[in-house]
Amino acid sequence: MSQTQRIILYILMLIAGASWILLSTDSSGASTSGSIPAPQSGFAAPDFTLQTTDGQTFALSNLQGQAVLVNVWATWCPPCRAEMPSIEKMYQEYKAQGLVVLAVNSTFQDEPLAIVPFVEQHKLTFPILLDEQGSVSSLYQVRALPSSFFIDRKGMIKEVVIGGPMSEALLRTYIEEIIR
């Protein structure tokens, strides 16, 4: 076999392998049904249902078709406090394009009476959900605050950011990726 024939054979094998990988990929996330070691990029976002400070109920699964930022935070957390104005600004800028921000307060490890004054002080207009039992923190295996999960319109996690504060530029980059 000549060197040219060998190169052509290698290229064909490479194309066949790449094609197989692309065709066998499960982009729906159904292969794990949300059962993954820890929510991460490329997997379906685990569903949850929580109440807001005013008693409304939000279920992540009801937001299918919208881009969602799930931000787990607490009032005592300095990076959480620092990034909230940027999250609010990005929410105002992108909500008309289908962005939903769910600020999940880690209520089980926060001071519940501090939440409403915090929201008023920062003039937050997105839903503040109360994780009173720690169910979302457990489901999403939150180990540090803040923790942010950027979920696309198909319910797939595109980015996970642990810690903060996130800059407006970083928020904008990830938000633009999930609203496409």
Confidence of residue 88 (pLDDT cuts 50, 70, 90): very high
For residue 20, what pLDDT is reported? 81
Confidence of residue 9 (pLDDT cuts 50, 70, 90): confident
For the chain, list the domains and their CATH numbers. 29-179 (3.40.30.10)
Q: What is the pTM of this model?
A: 0.78
For residue 37, what pLDDT is reported? 58
What's the rounded Cα separation, in Å, for the pair 157 and 46?
A: 9
Percent of the chain with pLDDT strictly greater than 70:
92
Using an 8 Å Cβ cutoff, are 75 and 103 in contact? no
Is the confidence at residue 161, as pLDDT, over 90?
A: yes
Is the confidence at residue 40, as pLDDT, over 90?
A: no
Contacts of 89 (CB under 8 A, 6+ apart): 168
The tokens for 176 are: 């633009």
Give the mean pLDDT of 110-124.
Answer: 94
Please report which helix (H) or strand (E) contains residue 89, including its range: helix 78-94
Contacts of 63 (CB under 8 A, 6+ apart): 100, 102
Q: Which of 105, 160, 153 is nearest to 128 (CA)?
A: 105
Contacts of 149 (CB under 8 A, 6+ apart): 39, 45, 69, 70, 71, 140, 157, 159, 160
Is the confidence at residue 27, as pLDDT, over 70?
A: no
Confidence of residue 114 (pLDDT cuts 50, 70, 90): very high
Is the confidence at residue 41, as pLDDT, over 70?
A: yes
Mean pLDDT for all residues in the chain? 90
